Amino acid sequence: MNASIPIPNLPWQDRPSSSRDIVWRYSDNPIVTKANIPYANTIFNSAVVYRNGHFEGVFRCDDREMQQKLYLGSSENGIDWTLSDQPLTLYNTDGTPAGQACGYDPRVCLIDGRYIVTWCAQYHGPTIGVAWSEDFRTFYRLENAFLPFNRNGVLFPRKINGKYCMLSRPSDNGHTPFGDIFLSQSPDLEHWGCHRYVMGACGGWSWTKIGAGPIPIETNEGWLLFYHGVATSCSGMIYSMGGALLDLEKPWQVRARCKPYLLHPEEGYERVGDVPNVVFPCAALCDGNTGRLAIYYGAADTVVALAFAHLDEVVDYILQHAE
Amino acid sequence: MNASIPIPNLPWQDRPSSSRDIVWRYSDNPIVTKANIPYANTIFNSAVVYRNGHFEGVFRCDDREMQQKLYLGSSENGIDWTLSDQPLTLYNTDGTPAGQACGYDPRVCLIDGRYIVTWCAQYHGPTIGVAWSEDFRTFYRLENAFLPFNRNGVLFPRKINGKYCMLSRPSDNGHTPFGDIFLSQSPDLEHWGCHRYVMGACGGWSWTKIGAGPIPIETNEGWLLFYHGVATSCSGMIYSMGGALLDLEKPWQVRARCKPYLLHPEEGYERVGDVPNVVFPCAALCDGNTGRLAIYYGAADTVVALAFAHLDEVVDYILQHAE
Amino acid sequence: MNASIPIPNLPWQDRPSSSRDIVWRYSDNPIVTKANIPYANTIFNSAVVYRNGHFEGVFRCDDREMQQKLYLGSSENGIDWTLSDQPLTLYNTDGTPAGQACGYDPRVCLIDGRYIVTWCAQYHGPTIGVAWSEDFRTFYRLENAFLPFNRNGVLFPRKINGKYCMLSRPSDNGHTPFGDIFLSQSPDLEHWGCHRYVMGACGGWSWTKIGAGPIPIETNEGWLLFYHGVATSCSGMIYSMGGALLDLEKPWQVRARCKPYLLHPEEGYERVGDVPNVVFPCAALCDGNTGRLAIYYGAADTVVALAFAHLDEVVDYILQHAE
Amino acid sequence: MNASIPIPNLPWQDRPSSSRDIVWRYSDNPIVTKANIPYANTIFNSAVVYRNGHFEGVFRCDDREMQQKLYLGSSENGIDWTLSDQPLTLYNTDGTPAGQACGYDPRVCLIDGRYIVTWCAQYHGPTIGVAWSEDFRTFYRLENAFLPFNRNGVLFPRKINGKYCMLSRPSDNGHTPFGDIFLSQSPDLEHWGCHRYVMGACGGWSWTKIGAGPIPIETNEGWLLFYHGVATSCSGMIYSMGGALLDLEKPWQVRARCKPYLLHPEEGYERVGDVPNVVFPCAALCDGNTGRLAIYYGAADTVVALAFAHLDEVVDYILQHAE
Amino acid sequence: MNASIPIPNLPWQDRPSSSRDIVWRYSDNPIVTKANIPYANTIFNSAVVYRNGHFEGVFRCDDREMQQKLYLGSSENGIDWTLSDQPLTLYNTDGTPAGQACGYDPRVCLIDGRYIVTWCAQYHGPTIGVAWSEDFRTFYRLENAFLPFNRNGVLFPRKINGKYCMLSRPSDNGHTPFGDIFLSQSPDLEHWGCHRYVMGACGGWSWTKIGAGPIPIETNEGWLLFYHGVATSCSGMIYSMGGALLDLEKPWQVRARCKPYLLHPEEGYERVGDVPNVVFPCAALCDGNTGRLAIYYGAADTVVALAFAHLDEVVDYILQHAE
Amino acid sequence: MNASIPIPNLPWQDRPSSSRDIVWRYSDNPIVTKANIPYANTIFNSAVVYRNGHFEGVFRCDDREMQQKLYLGSSENGIDWTLSDQPLTLYNTDGTPAGQACGYDPRVCLIDGRYIVTWCAQYHGPTIGVAWSEDFRTFYRLENAFLPFNRNGVLFPRKINGKYCMLSRPSDNGHTPFGDIFLSQSPDLEHWGCHRYVMGACGGWSWTKIGAGPIPIETNEGWLLFYHGVATSCSGMIYSMGGALLDLEKPWQVRARCKPYLLHPEEGYERVGDVPNVVFPCAALCDGNTGRLAIYYGAADTVVALAFAHLDEVVDYILQHAE
């Protein structure tokens, strides 16, 4: 297990005695539903960070117009959340208003004292929006990181070789039936280059496409990346969660990629909803003292759910089941 | 609220105290299932009228051959229905038999003493079948209103500017991925022209297509039109119900279109069935004394369900949430 | 041979001695090219009538913006044409201007002293525009005959059973890969009903779709209908011309449909152009004295060409080669 | 009813008194789930035979890599199954190892003392794998029966006219949107010819495609074939089970095909899972003494379920409801 | 160079002095056009054999109904052909008539004294028809070799390891956008098995699909196979001709596959026609004395053309340009 | 007219007296064909610069394997070209070899003394390759500018606001049926950001997609951008050339966009070839003394052709025909 900060109040349940799974679900899932925001249709695929002893989050809420926007939320225990009933407003770096945070599937990365939100923004097609905040209250928007069409932009929590690094998944303008993970590098969060292929869709549960999930977690064995993989049946896509370890200094190199998935839709709230059969991880918090992991994931494009794991076990499992 | 006839025995439940929704569901949904007709596979998307103190209906039943046909039914309270176990037989206007009523998604409109059924008939592609009855027992079939391909033909309950008016949705021969609502006019129910565009699919919950639902209800603010709107996820279409107000004398002009939906699949019987995630309204009855609305809708292409609303509230909500 | 008016100056060339074809080409094809209108990209698929001893036409010209509009033209001999350099302007029936005639593939029908133009207009999708003129100078526009999506609207040159009759081809919004011919009836050119299936795409050269061509010609054996049929290769569509005879009083009934095509792309101007491999007939004039036929057709969506035939031979050939 | 061997311990429940269905479900479905094999994702679409007083089976298990492989299992009562936790290993006919049995949707046919497994193997596309065993322990693999692309290979339980007969469904490389049943003949299980069309997709519940299910059962009225038929909604495919009777000596001739389906997804375990709305029969055992039928079918591409029927009733029902 | 019979009157022209191509065209191409058969639309993709000092052929003619049928033809010099004006009639092996030879793209193989025609027949989809003749006058039809969907069946000119061997290309029912070459084996021309993958579509000029062309020619370096490869542009498919050498005794093993094509559409008759940009070889004759090759190929799906090469040069070129 | 360097030997022909076109063709087109490189299949879509009194070029040559690579060429008069018979070899910036220049559709931009080639390279999908040279002999490759999928990267000939500016067209992995032009900015040619939408596909000749063509030319009225626009017929795509003027300092702002095209396929070498109906401009040279323009464009994906214009006339025409 590698160094990360202690999170003494990290949500936690021990693995059920009946289970031998590496990742297991919170027994009172889902933890966030449409009831958390008036006028909401669904709340899912949301990101969470630990800050000053409590938890803050950026939530995807599709409202009853099915407009996709980001909302802030906070929690003392990481399970019971209070969400804003208004979408997050963004500002330009000169302090002028930049409108509501439209888009979806946010991730939040703490790096050098700034909380950086990346999400799927719309600019003549989907691409990666970037905004940062020092106080989790006022968020400043930068220009989009990439040209359209792109989704699932995920930052690393420290500069590598002096540059910011971001994973992303070039896509198309619809329900993209393909997609691989690339890594891009930037001196300033605004200009990106040195784009490198990381890994692609492959057989089984991820044959259609893959996309990075939570902010990678640094371990002795490499960056632990949870990601979603998609298979397509005759009735639609099935989203599962897998894991991989990337090289610490050359993170575009895959050290180990776990062949089996780590989580697959099985419970009712994952199987039934606006989009059936989806687990979509967007955040993973690790308690530096115990190695306990709390993984936040969207379920069925309808609710937010929570799962648990031990960091060491996950790393070992990936190494043992690597291709 | 506008004039309509009293329906003292209209089905009704007050809004649950926990809800602030404009439209709410009947607590004992679904009200009609396959159990109502032997040999049925599913019964859904059906139309209901108030007649002589009780309720009559034309039901879509897909039988175990998955043949789509219309069946008659009646009810004293609008909730407990007795359905014919044989498909409706049609007659030509000269009294000769015209075969069973094959097709789907009927609407029924009372106009000038005649009950006019419009439905999706098959004639070298889907188009709008038209039949009328004075006694709800013997139905006379006219020629189809339009060339194929068309669906969701919905009549207005009175002539406007001296002509019959019908909404419809030009479509294709399959699971049409597009579709706007048009209005056509006729002196005689047989020849149609002066086709006018009314409104189209737009962002959010109705970005794929829309189609008129129940017979429009006349109000001081215009014709109240409930309609279905369709969004498409990576796993199929999602049908919600919205509302709009059309100009009373130029009903192809939209006075107000409600941005949020009014009803969205949420209950198990709407989320799971032959086609998941469908609410599809086909009839709305209004008690002229109280303004209570009973909305009949198909759920998951499997059963018939019931929802309630107050006419005044619906009109206000549309006006307040119009684009 | 049946009655039609004499056209002494009908364009004509005898069949080449080397040919045994029923329809043969004019040796100086094409007769109209982009050179006929400044700013034109292409001129093709155009309609021609005989009027007061000379010839008038409504031409499809796609300009260098590739905007599709109709232009008037006239000719003394039916071969050398003078075209207007401005698009045709339409008027409403109340005399107010109705804008330029946007659209494509016109046909012109003389009926009861009025020249009626039908063409593919755009109104939330392609549909059949209708306009009429008594002097071939001022054209009054009616509302579109049908709901979208429709193309190839072709009128019969007299009322049948007291109604106007129009052939059309319900289609989709793109390069429609299907399409059958239907007949609709109207008391007033504005309201249409009694839609009847006439004939559909079938194997061989017309397996993809068919569409009516010139105004049908009345003969003792029925209405002679030239139509285009489309086959689709791995590199696109191939448009040929075929023939059929429709019942005189029940013109939705096919008396004979010629199995072989009558004209197929073969010459360079038919094989190479903006759309390769297209012959698309829009007008056929018959000299009542001799039975000579002059058929005007678009070639390769680029130019207008001319072909000849004897009416009697065509009718006999269809009868002998009917399915 | 026709001759088949007695199976005194055949699983059985009488039809519920409330039901008039010809085929009814086991009340404790599903009988096999992912819990039966560690590392399994799903177990479904599996074949069962009666052997030496107990039951043996070949099971489709998709593991957590979503690799599709075959596993052996056995049961004393046909309901409670013990499955191997390792995939079935195949051997070449010379005794050398031939790798694991990769593929899906097995059927097992006892013929001339050999248990012959046919399944969907992958060889540059899906095609029909063939392997046989005399002891249900060691299975010898032959070369694939057909060129790709093919699925649902089902053998008859005796030679007909001196040849092995196999039903199959030519398909494509994906979620095939078409498919008819053909019959092929072979002197040696290795070379196949005399391919004959048996029956195809048709309207209603099987309009998209069909595929043979369990090994046909010989009756006085012909070979009883249960098969799956597929309809496609706007949200995916719906798999139902139907029945037909094929001529005993010319089994490519359909004697009777039942218009209504016999089983349709209705229960939660059939409606919700990795692929919603699937019943997919792979085996049907008949007790020669009583004519009781136990039908094993996959549900929702997730579990194995069981249904019951009386052979005589099924045959009568098919004959009475034939097209 | 390997043994093959002398063909002293093989068509021939020396390579133009300006060319360094391995395969060059006949200067008076095309050699067969629609003029060779009355009522023909096109004649192309045809097979030719040397027999008793002259040449016989089986020709694909699409008539003016665009019905695809086979016609016989003969020639003294292999260039000037006399074709039958009636389609080839087939007989069953019991001597009863089996109808006209419907289908396309024939090949003819002399083996053990019989001329065996294989072609793309239609039987619930395209598949490989087989017929044989001893006198090139009376042809007996066998059942189709394979299940649909299949095209481009090409026999080897002798049994290998005691079995007939046939190349084919499993396909779909339309303008197949994929396709690899497989080899199947048969003891009797009727039952086929031991299906082996030979080679597939790969980058460049054959990235979409490939299909065997003429009967393979036995050389010391292996079976010389000319085949077509297809690339797809934004405007359709482009058919080129390539070459490969297959192992003499294990002909499913590729010894050498030439990376560059050997012939590509370039001349007007290859670039313009019913299907632009097609060269499609169906026969290659080799003079045993000189090693001269005459290759017959269809051009633009419209005419038959002829190309020449030296056998030794082709084999050397393939070996030198193999992957 | 704006400043650019004199090119006294610029290729030139006066406009034919019969023409009133703004852009006219060289009378001896094409100027480069497959004959210019042995083993070539086609040479087209190539870029040219003026250097030291003569002309240098980077040519797209698809060889007979249909491998797409770049080749150097030079010319004294800009018309007669000598091309290398070997693909261009690239070097890394550290001087190590970087392989052949694989890819297509090069542009060359002189900026600050370096010749920068941008082209469509392949890196897990098409994207924009970048390489530079000071001597037009040794080219150093940088990492790709953007993530896939992208094409038609075109640099501006000077830094704007201190940054390099590049136009590009985000696309997909195939024959992209959509596409707009964006502008990206970079401090170092390696990291790109501040992506701005410039203009998109619109009606008529460019309704499918557009892409930047030659390096923009600075004029008093803005940057003159020639670009290609694509319309799609039922038989494929049609590529025309248009023009626009972009703001000098905010080049993502369109000052004027010419509604009509400037060049459209019309000549045989533009209409017939590997891809019919293509004109695709990649370079435009302007003589600073006279304002004469020589435009190099690919024709039919087969050859290189040349057209002429007067800079002032082009600018005026765009301004007069702007939307």
User: What digits encode the pLDDT tens for the residues A268-283?
Assistant: 999 999 999 999 999 9
* CA distance linking residue D284 with residue D224, whole number of Å: 10
Best of E234, E237, E275 to disrupt the F interface by mutation (most F CBs within 10 Å)?
Answer: E234
Separation between Cα atoms, residue D33 and residue B67, nearest integer Å: 34
Q: Nearest chain B residue to D263 by CA: give it.
A: B64
Residue E1 clears pLDDT 70, i.e. is over it: no
DSSP labels for D132-190?
Answer: EESSSSSEEEEPPSS-SSEEEEEE-SS-BTTBEEEEEEE--SSS-S---EEEEEESSSS
pLDDT at B102: 98
Q: How, if at all, do strands E139-142 and E89-92 pair?
A: parallel
| Contact by Cβ (8 Å): D188, D225 | no
Whether the pLDDT of residue A125 is over 60: the answer is yes
Q: Region F134-153: what's the mean pLDDT? A: 98
The identity of residue D264, as a single letter, is H
* Interchain pair D275, A233: CB under 8 A: yes
Chain A to chain D Cβ contacts (< 8 Å): 51
Residue C28, domain member (yes or no): no
Residue D129, both tokens: 């794998």
Q: Can you give the pLDDT at residue F203?
A: 85
Tally the C-alpha atoms within 13 A of residue A197's C-alpha that lie toward its C-beta.
13
Residues in chain A: 323
Within a domain: C24: no
For residue F208, the model assigns a pLDDT of 97
Residue C13 lies in a domain: no
Angle at CA of residue F173, ends F172 and F176, nearest 5° = 50
Burial of B113 (0-12, 13-18, 19+ CB in 10 A): exposed
Hey, is the C-beta of A322 within 8 angstroms of any chain B C-beta? Answer: no
Q: Please compute the mean of the pLDDT values over residues C120-136 and round it to a whole number.
A: 97
Does B25 fall in a domain? no
Inspect the structure and tell me whether chains C and E have 3 or more CB pairs less than 8 Å apart: yes
3-state secondary structure of B314: helix
Residue A147 lies in a domain: yes
Residue at token pair 């000598």: F82
Helix or strand holding residue A314 (H, E): helix A311-320
d(CA F132, CA F142): 8
**Digit-coded pLDDT (tens) for B211-232:** 999 999 999 999 999 999 999 9
On the question of pLDDT at D152 being above 60, the answer is yes
pLDDT at C1: 44
- Note the pLDDT of residue F1: 44
Whether B271 and B263 have beta carbons less than 8 Å apart is answered as no
> Strand, coil or helix: what is B318?
helix
Sheet with A54-63: strands ordered across:
A40-51, A54-63, A68-75, A82-83
- CB contact (8 A) between residue B236 and residue D236: yes
Task: Verify whether the Cβ–Cβ distance B193 to C195 is below 8 Å.
Answer: no
Average pLDDT over residues F288-306: 98
Averaged pLDDT of chain A? 97
pLDDT higher than threshold 70 for residue B41: yes
All residues at 6 or more sequence positions from E2 whose CB lies less than 8 Å from its CB, including other chains:
E217, E218, E219, E220, E311
Buried b / exposed e along E194-208 (16+ C-beta atoms within 10 A) = bbbebbebeebbbeb
Subunit contact D233:B272, Cβ cutoff 8 A? no
**Chain B contact for A41, CB < 8 A?**
yes
> Do the Cβ atoms of E233 and F236 come within 8 Å?
yes
Please count the structural domains in chain F: 1
Taking residue A142's Cβ as centre, other Cβ atoms within 10 Å add up to 19
- Give how far C169 is from chain E: nearest CA, Å: 22
CB atoms within 10 A of CB E58: 27
- On whether any CB of chain A is under 8 Å from the CB of D100, the answer is no
pLDDT for res D123 = 97
Query: Are D191 and E191 an interchain contact pair (Cβ–Cβ within 8 Å)?
Result: yes
Measure the N-to-C terminal CA separation of chain E; round to a whole number of Å: 22
CA angle A152, A156, A158 (to 5 degrees): 160
Of the candidates B216, B245, B241, the one whose C-alpha atom is nearest the C-alpha of residue B111 is B216
Q: Specify the residue for token string 């068919």.
A: C210
**F173 pLDDT tier (thresholds 50, 70, 90):** confident
Pairing state of beta strands C292-299 and C279-286?
Answer: antiparallel
In the chain, the amino acid numbered B23 is V
- Which residue has better confidence, F250 or F203? F250
**Is C208's Cβ below 8 Å from some Cβ in B?**
no
Amino acid at site E64:
R
Question: Mean pLDDT in chain C?
Answer: 97
d(CA F48, CA F283): 6
Instruction: Decide if A37 contacts A46 (C-beta within 8 A).
Output: no
Q: Which two tokens stand for residue D317?
A: 């029902």
- Looking at residues C274-278, what average pLDDT do you find? 98
Across the range A83-95, mean pLDDT stands at 97
Q: How confident is the model at residue C173 (pLDDT cuts 50, 70, 90)?
A: confident
**What token pair was written down for B187?**
């002196």
Tell me whether residue C190 is in a domain.
yes
Please tell me the predicted confidence (pLDDT) of residue E203.
85
pLDDT in tens, A224-240: 999 999 999 999 999 99
**Residue that has been written with the tokens 């903006």 in this structure:** C274
Residue-wise pLDDT tens digits, D229-284: 999 999 999 999 999 999 999 999 999 999 999 999 999 999 999 999 999 999 99
| C-alpha–C-alpha distance, residues D60 and D47, integer Å | 8
Cβ <8 Å between E186 and D190: no
**pLDDT tens-digit map of C70-94:** 999 999 999 999 999 999 999 999 9
Residue B150: which of C147, C187, C191 has the nearest Cβ? C147
Structure tokens at A209: 């496409």
pLDDT for residue E233 is more than 80: yes
Checking if the pLDDT of D2 tops 70, the result is no
Cβ atoms of B48 and B55 closer than 8 Å: yes
What is the per-residue pLDDT for D213? 98
User: Average per-residue pLDDT in chain F?
Assistant: 97
Smallest Cα–Cα separation from B222: which of B198, B254, B194, B197? B254
**Tokens of residue B29, six digits:** 């949904």
Helix, strand, coil shares of chain C as percentages rounded to 5? 5, 50, 45
If pLDDT is split at 50, 70 and 90, which confidence band does A173 have?
A: confident
Nearest by CB to residue A235, choosing from D41, D63, D275, is: D275
Residue type, D272: V
In angstroms, the CA A299 to CA A304 distance is 6
Nearest to residue C22, comparing CAs of C313, C296, C276, C301?
C313
Show the domain range for D112: 33-320
- pLDDT confidence of residue F314: 98
SS3 (DSSP) at E314 = helix
Mean pLDDT of F256-261: 98
CATH of the domain at E194: 2.115.10.20
What does the DSSP 8-state code read for residue F147? -
Kindly state the average pLDDT of the residues F8-16. Answer: 98
What is the ipTM metric for this complex?
Answer: 0.95
Q: What is the C-alpha to C-alpha distance for residues D129 and C92, in angstroms, rounded to an integer? A: 71
Per CB-CB distance under 8 Å, the chain E contacts of C276 are 272, 276
Percent of chain B scored above 70 by pLDDT? 99
Q: Measure CA C316 to chain center.
A: 22
Tokens for C150, please give them: 């429709």
Distant-in-sequence, close-in-space partners of B163: CB < 8 Å, separation ≥ 6? B185, B186, B187, B194
Q: What is the pLDDT of residue F4?
A: 76
Examine the pLDDT at E259 and tell me if it is beyond 90.
yes
- Specify if C287 maps to a domain: yes
CA distance E56 to E54: 7
Is the minimum CB–CB distance between A122 and chain F shorter than 8 Å? no
pLDDT at A1: 44
Going by the DSSP 8-state scheme, the letter that residue C53 receives in this structure is T
> In the numeric block, which tokens belong to residue A60?
């995807």
> Does the model's pTM come out above 0.95?
yes
Residue E168: its chain D contacts at CB < 8 A? 147
Are C281 and C306 spatial neighbours (Cβ–Cβ below 8 Å)?
Answer: no
| Residues sharing a CB contact under 8 Å with residue C295, sequence separation 6 or more, in sequence order | C23, C214, C226, C241, C263, C281, C283, C284, C306, C307, C308, C309
H helices, E strands: number in chain D: 2, 23
pLDDT computed for residue D257 by the predictor: 98
Pair type for strands C303-310 and D24-25: unpaired
Distance from the C54 Cα atom to the nearest Cα atom in chain B, whole angstroms: 35
Q: How far apart are CA D237 and CA E25, in angstroms?
A: 52
d(CA A172, CA F226) in angstroms, rounded, equals 27
Task: Please state the length of chain B.
Answer: 323
pLDDT for D1 equals: 45
Residue with tokens 């031998």: A20
Residue reference for tokens 């694909």: E60
Closest by CA position to E295, among listed F144, D84, E286: E286
**What is the pLDDT at residue A121?**
98
Residues A237, B236: C-beta atoms closer than 8 Å: no
- Whether D24 maps to a domain, the answer reads no
